[in-house]
Structure 1
Amino acid sequence: MSAALKPAPDESPLDILQRIYGYEAFRGLQPDVIDDAMAGRDVLAVLPTGGGKSLCYQIPAMLRDGVGLVVSPLIALMADQVDALKALGVRAERLDSSMSFEDKTEALNAAARGEMDLLYLSPEALSTGLAGRLAQLSISLIAIDEAHCVSQWGHDFRPDYRALGRLKQLFPDVPRMAVTATADARTRDDILAQLDLTEPQTHVASFDRPNLTLGAEPKGGTKSDRVLSLVKAHKGESGIVYAATRDGTEKLADALEKAGIPALAYHAGLDADVRAERQRRFLLEDGLTICATVAFGMGVDKPDVRFVIHADPPKTLEAYWQEVGRAGRDSKPAEGYALYGPADLRRSISWTVESDAAEEVKRVQLNKTRQLYAFFNGTDCRRQAVRKYFGERDAEPCGECDNCQREPGDGFDATRFAQMAVSAVIRCGQRIGRGRLIIHLTGSARDGFDEDLAQLSTYGIGADLPKAGWNAVFDELLFSGLLAEGGEVMRPVIVVPDADAAKALFRGEREVWLREDPTARKTRKRRRSAAADFSGDLSERDQALFDALRAWRLETAKAKGVPPYVIFHDRTLAAIAQERPAGEDGLRTISGVGEKKAGRYASEIARLVAAAA
């Protein structure tokens, strides 16, 4: 950091925010979290994706004596944040396996000399001899990023994170901060316990993302065709398509490319250099779609992602909200859309059952999985449902998601059909699969096995509902947990997992509703791009300058080898296009322009502004 940017003894967090980051005011709970960190308190902060979590530990690390340690799960994520900090003139470095021994040594020596504000490292690094070297440094604070990885109840549990509880013994007098975007009450409690935070201050922001338009639908037809139609609605915009398998990412990327949409696959099976290059392209280029497994996750810090499509669902609502939250980090309109089906539920349950996790953990994860599918297949407002899941009891309907946009009375009371289905499962001894059950309910025996079951009272009682309708009923019963799949993974049978829930259904104490009338499927409506109004507040004259500024930013970013948003965010460029500052002083009045960047780019921006006059 140059002498001009080094914090003065009397500078406040707000001074740093304005002078170095170029923002006028903190957002949400940021000032409360920073105040606690400045006072040396341990903190747990649950702030939404794009809510400025990193500022909560970066600013105190700059103002407190010593170097701030940041524990981060991915090399890509560390590199991204360090590059962004260096662009602001902040003294930051990282320690990871991609660096040479000499570079690591120099970073540690600089920290020892007091020439470092922030030092990023992986949780694995603390289990090596590095911990002893770090203990010799003057540490200002320790931040554990993506802290949900600590908890066995979290959606991305990592054993190496579990060992971070020893930080209290290694650095007994250093305040610690755990930050994450998604953690329910159980996960938050586990984070506090595992990290052994001392009298922690807990800050939990609303999980609402007002700029996100959410939607979901059952899978039908060819998955790639539906994904293609969804991506086409965002032509020229950047987005992420998540798939469950490596092969799935490759097939989707190929289908998009053949349709003329720039797309790349990303998964753990690719060479590390290939993954790094594809992530670099996604960060640098506009209009590129990444088709990825969850290997492409926490390292993504691109603010102008306009859509996230789940071609295959994740395992929990926490994972869904974390992944869909990667859209619209710039607070502009964005869309999250999910495709789901019973085969996805079966696969997710199989992964959990066959895992090495403890039985109690498996039970919790299975319940979380069913809650996710009930959310997808439900008729309640999607944003409201997410907020209630995370404990917000006063959440109101958003009025914008696919469920809120449905016509009044669209839901269908399928309780009678549900009672028939559950009764048939019980009568048939919980030993046959969905296909045989539908044959039984519709009275369409085709062989001796079906004919044997035809002697039961439930044979043919559902003949007035076609096969497609029964499939919809069974989907909802499986998603809601009234029925479950047992037996072999490849030859599942339908069982009743909760006898009390089944009795409540038969007594009429529990209803089953479908999104649509199972006897009359409706045609899908084409969705308008949620980002259609991204720059709609710019005049034609300002739009021309905005486009010129974006082109300049892209060339500058390529020359420096950094993502475009490290130069300036789109919202900052839009403000420049409207305000048209003529020099460095004028540029510094724009939100998102700090002292360092104003000095660095003022002349180039003045040239573009003059040319557009």
Structure 2
Amino acid sequence: MEKIENEQEKIGTEYLEQCTAEDEQQKDTEDTVMAAAKRAFGISYLYPWQRLVIENILDSAQNPESEDEFSCHGKQIVLLPTGAGKSMCFLVPSLLLKGPTLVLYPLLALMSDQKRRMDDAGIESVVFRGGQSKEEREENFARIQNGAKIILANPEVLLSEGLAERLALCKIAHVAIDEAHCVSEWGDTFRPAYLELGRIIRTLEPKVVTAFTATASSGVLSRISDVLFGGPVHIIRSDSDRPNIRYYVVNAYSKKRAAFRLAVMERKPLIIFCGTRGNAEDMARELAAYLGSDKVKFYHAGLEREEKDAVEKWFYPRDDAVLCCTCAFGMGVDKKDIHCVIHLEPSPTAEAYLQEAGRGGRDGSVAKAILLWSRADSERYASFKEGSRERVLAKFAESTTCRRQILLDALGGEQAACSGCDVCERGEAAPFASDAGAVLKLVGRRKKSYDADSLSAAAVSELNRRDLNIFGEYVWNHADAERVILQLMGEKKLKTCGWPWRGKITLCRDGFLQNKRSRSTAGGTS
């Protein structure tokens, strides 16, 4: 018995010594990581999720042969909300790994932004992109051989003849795929290079692969796992909620004029996301005429690289700027003090909306995310299958319950107390569109009979009178008024009379009364 007790004591002592050694090793790792982060980026604190991801990367790189029970060693998908510091999760370990880190971005704007960030931190980095000369490529490889820690690229450039094979010779330690939801969002449509990333990763043979995204439903996660990793993968997920973002829906029949009004009234800097390049340019031109050309710019994928750089350099330092842009400026924007994000057109999915709305408040301050919604949007999104990712935006916009929870439910059912949305604040859905309401009231007064032209003129006068105290000048025009009138007639809220009042416009009483009895799907402060 004494022999057994002595043996147990010996085993216990060895175990304690092992635990102490492991604790010291972990402490040394944490100290090294924190020292690297502070030296390069001036930060003195890492969030627990950041530490976990960084430790996984370093451990997998240092112990590439070890396997866990799920055989996912060195493979992880990381979900961190926008503004939580995803980039630190791959930039900090890149300073400590023996080989270079390859970071894949979907957009040139993100590569440019990170290159600027690397230069500021004094970290040697290289960029591979389309259109480079042979001399530029060779210079990049020379810099990698001389110790460049970060390689920035997009999926398409890796399909260039022989590039992936040459990068494989550089002994890439870690491949980080930023905005990994693009695999699912774009891979099957206009960015097929994303579907080739699994093959490219196998060619590179990195010790660690990490896919980063801010938002992803179970279907998107499954697609990322299949395409990039070909099987099981660790999923590291923090809370998806951004408590400092307040969600609002403004229903409007003239969404362009509603966006104009919000851009003037809301705190800046702000972004207006537009569905097309033409809408971004058109919105910027009108706002620039009112606010000044030095305060408003547009940005989209059709600009030349030099034009994009100029807009980025203009936008980042300003606190009075309005940027009208497409999703080309959406992902990875590192401007921390954006106070308002307006969507002229809704995003295609809940994930995309959260990504874009998440451009606001990255410094932790309260920011508004305002979605403009119209009857046309409602009809378009109603065509999507109930329960689909696309249908979520309609549910969000037309909700009578917490908007924040609808977005979180779309990502897997995370529960959160609402820290701000218009439904919870007001206790009801967004009100009927005020621009349409003004026209309906105008017709309903019945002091004068209107035909189409005279109603348009009266509506312009009424809406300009209403908003004169905001703008100090007339901003509504006949095109805006006609847009409102045509939608009201299409919804059978207004109608054109027959004989003996042929051509005169009047209310469709049933439609108008229904709007007065219940909240419509179009409303707000347009």
- TM-score where L is the length of structure 2: 0.72
Taking the aligned partners of 2:119 and 2:303, their CA distance within structure 1 comes to: 29
Counterpart in the other structure of 2:282: 251
**Paired residues, number:** 422
Alignment of 1:358-507 (within 5 A): 367-398=388-419, 400-407=420-427, 438=492, 466-468=510-512, 470=514
Shift of 1:227: 1.6
Taking the aligned partners of 2:523 and 2:225, their CA distance within structure 1 comes to: 48
Identical aligned pairs, as a percentage? 31
**Paired AA for residue 96 in structure 1:** R
Taking the aligned partners of 2:429 and 2:87, their CA distance within structure 1 comes to: 45
Taking the aligned partners of 1:523 and 1:372, their CA distance within structure 2 comes to: 16
**C-alpha distance 56-268 of structure 1, shift in aligned 2 (>3 A):** closer
Corresponding residue to 2:308 among 270, 275, 281: 275
Corresponding residue to 2:266 among 234, 240, 251: 234
Counterpart in the other structure of 1:161: 194
Which has the higher mean CA deviation after the structures are superposed, 194-203 or 85-94?
194-203
**C-alpha distance 9-379 of structure 1, shift in aligned 2 (>3 A):** closer
Taking the aligned partners of 2:276 and 2:359, their CA distance within structure 1 comes to: 20
Unmatched 5+ residue regions in structure 1?
1-7, 351-361, 413-432, 448-462, 473-515, 527-613
CA contact (8 A) 2:431 2:519 kept: no
CA contact (8 A) 2:75 2:229 kept: no
Shift of 1:375: 0.8
Q: CA offsets per residue over residues 559-582 of structure 1, 9 Å max, x none?
A: xxxxxxxxxxxxxxxxxxxxxxxx
Taking the aligned partners of 2:189 and 2:343, their CA distance within structure 1 comes to: 17
Matched, 1:286 2:322: no
Taking the aligned partners of 2:323 and 2:429, their CA distance within structure 1 comes to: 38
Shift of 1:445: 10
Unmatched 5+ residue regions in structure 2?
1-27, 61-73, 433-486, 500-506
Counterpart in the other structure of 1:29: 49
Counterpart in the other structure of 2:14: none
Find the residue that maps to 2:95 and give its secondary structure. helix
**C-alpha distance 307-62 of structure 1, shift in aligned 2 (>3 A):** same
CA contact (8 A) 2:110 2:331 kept: yes
**Paired AA for residue 388 in structure 2:** N
Shift of 1:368: 2.4
Shift of 1:251: 2.6
Taking the aligned partners of 1:23 and 1:155, their CA distance within structure 2 comes to: 39
**Cα RMSD after superposing both structures:** 3.5
**Paired AA for residue 272 in structure 2:** V
Shift of 1:334: 1.0
CA contact (8 A) 2:175 2:209 kept: yes
**C-alpha distance 9-271 of structure 1, shift in aligned 2 (>3 A):** closer
Counterpart in the other structure of 1:13: 33
CA contact (8 A) 1:224 1:252 kept: yes
CA contact (8 A) 1:36 1:42 kept: no
Find the residue that maps to 1:295 and give its secondary structure. helix
CA contact (8 A) 1:29 1:205 kept: yes
Q: CA offsets per residue over residues 287-334 of structure 1, 9 Å max, x none?
A: 111112223322532111111101121211111111111111111111
**C-alpha distance 17-325 of structure 1, shift in aligned 2 (>3 A):** same
CA contact (8 A) 2:82 2:355 kept: yes
CA contact (8 A) 2:99 2:173 kept: yes
Which has the higher mean CA deviation after the structures are superposed, 268-277 or 44-53?
268-277
**C-alpha distance 20-180 of structure 1, shift in aligned 2 (>3 A):** same
Taking the aligned partners of 1:363 and 1:410, their CA distance within structure 2 comes to: 24
Find the residue that maps to 1:305 and give its secondary structure. coil
Counterpart in the other structure of 2:456: none
**C-alpha distance 300-437 of structure 1, shift in aligned 2 (>3 A):** closer
Taking the aligned partners of 1:519 and 1:77, their CA distance within structure 2 comes to: 41
